[in-house]
Amino acid sequence: MSKECFYLGKKASMGNRVQTRGKAKRLGGVGTKITGITRRKFKPNLHKVRAVVDGKVKRVWVSTQAIRMGLVQKPVVNKPFQLPQSDEKQ
Protein backbone atom coordinates (compact mmCIF):
# COMPACT_ATOMS: atom_id res chain seq x y z
CA MET A 1 0.00 0.00 0.00
CA SER A 2 1.37 3.39 -0.95
CA LYS A 3 1.66 6.33 1.41
CA GLU A 4 -1.60 8.22 1.66
CA CYS A 5 -2.96 10.73 4.16
CA PHE A 6 -5.36 8.92 6.52
CA TYR A 7 -7.66 11.94 6.87
CA LEU A 8 -7.48 13.83 3.56
CA GLY A 9 -6.54 11.05 1.13
CA LYS A 10 -3.60 12.97 -0.32
CA LYS A 11 -1.13 10.82 -2.24
CA ALA A 12 1.56 11.20 -4.88
CA SER A 13 0.43 12.44 -8.29
CA MET A 14 2.22 12.51 -11.63
CA GLY A 15 3.15 15.53 -13.70
CA ASN A 16 5.77 16.93 -16.08
CA ARG A 17 9.14 18.52 -15.49
CA VAL A 18 9.78 21.11 -18.21
CA GLN A 19 13.33 22.24 -18.97
CA THR A 20 13.80 25.54 -20.76
CA ARG A 21 16.68 27.61 -22.08
CA GLY A 22 17.06 31.08 -23.45
CA LYS A 23 16.27 34.58 -22.22
CA ALA A 24 12.71 35.82 -21.66
CA LYS A 25 11.35 38.39 -24.10
CA ARG A 26 10.55 40.82 -21.30
CA LEU A 27 14.25 40.78 -20.40
CA GLY A 28 15.35 41.55 -23.95
CA GLY A 29 15.80 38.04 -25.30
CA VAL A 30 14.10 36.14 -28.12
CA GLY A 31 12.05 33.99 -25.74
CA THR A 32 12.55 30.74 -23.89
CA LYS A 33 12.45 27.39 -25.67
CA ILE A 34 11.46 24.00 -24.24
CA THR A 35 14.40 21.61 -24.44
CA GLY A 36 12.97 18.62 -22.62
CA ILE A 37 9.90 17.24 -20.88
CA THR A 38 10.17 14.35 -18.43
CA ARG A 39 7.68 12.73 -16.07
CA ARG A 40 7.95 13.40 -12.34
CA LYS A 41 6.07 12.73 -9.10
CA PHE A 42 4.52 15.38 -6.87
CA LYS A 43 4.71 13.99 -3.33
CA PRO A 44 2.63 15.31 -0.41
CA ASN A 45 4.30 16.24 2.88
CA LEU A 46 3.39 13.18 4.97
CA HIS A 47 4.41 12.29 8.53
CA LYS A 48 3.90 9.05 10.44
CA VAL A 49 2.24 9.97 13.74
CA ARG A 50 0.51 8.22 16.61
CA ALA A 51 -3.16 9.15 16.56
CA VAL A 52 -6.37 8.00 18.23
CA VAL A 53 -8.40 6.17 15.57
CA ASP A 54 -11.73 4.55 16.57
CA GLY A 55 -10.73 4.69 20.23
CA LYS A 56 -7.38 2.92 19.65
CA VAL A 57 -3.89 4.37 19.25
CA LYS A 58 -2.47 3.68 15.78
CA ARG A 59 0.47 4.87 13.71
CA VAL A 60 -0.89 6.47 10.55
CA TRP A 61 0.44 8.56 7.67
CA VAL A 62 -0.90 12.10 8.00
CA SER A 63 -0.32 15.17 5.85
CA THR A 64 0.94 18.31 7.55
CA GLN A 65 -2.17 20.10 6.31
CA ALA A 66 -4.35 17.68 8.30
CA ILE A 67 -2.22 18.28 11.41
CA ARG A 68 -2.56 22.06 11.02
CA MET A 69 -6.32 21.76 10.46
CA GLY A 70 -6.63 19.95 13.80
CA LEU A 71 -7.96 16.69 12.34
CA VAL A 72 -5.39 14.56 14.19
CA GLN A 73 -6.26 13.66 17.76
CA LYS A 74 -3.06 12.72 19.55
CA PRO A 75 -3.13 10.26 22.49
CA VAL A 76 -2.59 11.46 26.05
CA VAL A 77 0.82 10.18 27.15
CA ASN A 78 0.57 11.18 30.81
CA LYS A 79 -2.65 11.98 32.59
CA PRO A 80 -2.77 15.55 33.90
CA PHE A 81 -1.58 16.08 37.47
CA GLN A 82 -4.31 16.56 40.05
CA LEU A 83 -3.93 17.71 43.63
CA PRO A 84 -5.06 15.22 46.27
CA GLN A 85 -8.53 16.00 47.61
CA SER A 86 -8.74 16.59 51.37
CA ASP A 87 -11.95 15.81 53.26
CA GLU A 88 -11.42 18.52 55.89
CA LYS A 89 -12.70 22.04 55.30
CA GLN A 90 -11.29 24.95 57.23
- For 12, 76, 81, 87, 88, the CA distances from 84, given in Å and listed in that order, are 52, 21, 10, 10, 12
Q: Calculate the CA 14 to chain-centre distance.
A: 17
Q: Tell me the whole-structure pTM to 2 decimals.
A: 0.69
Per-domain boundaries in the chain:
13-69
Q: Return the CA Rg of the chain.
A: 25
DSSP 66: H
pLDDT digits (tens, 9 = 90+) for 26-67: 999 999 999 999 999 999 999 999 999 999 999 999 999 999
Judge whether 60 and 49 are in contact, CB under 8 Å.
yes
Candidate ranges 24-28, 76-80, 83-87; pick with highest mean pLDDT: 24-28
